[in-house]
Amino acid sequence: MSDTSLYSRLGGYDAVATVVDDFSTAIINDPKLEKYFHSLSEDSLKKVRQLTVDFLCESTGGPCFYLG
How far apart are alpha carbons 37 and 66 in whole angstroms? 21
**Which amino acid, one-letter code, is at 30?**
D
Winning range, highest mean pLDDT, from 1-10, 32-41, 56-65: 56-65
Angstrom distances, CA of residue 27 to CA of 4, 37, 54: 31, 9, 18
* pLDDT 10s digits, 17-59: 999 999 999 999 999 998 999 899 999 999 999 999 999 999 9
How many beta carbons lie within 10 A of that of residue 57, not counting itself?
21
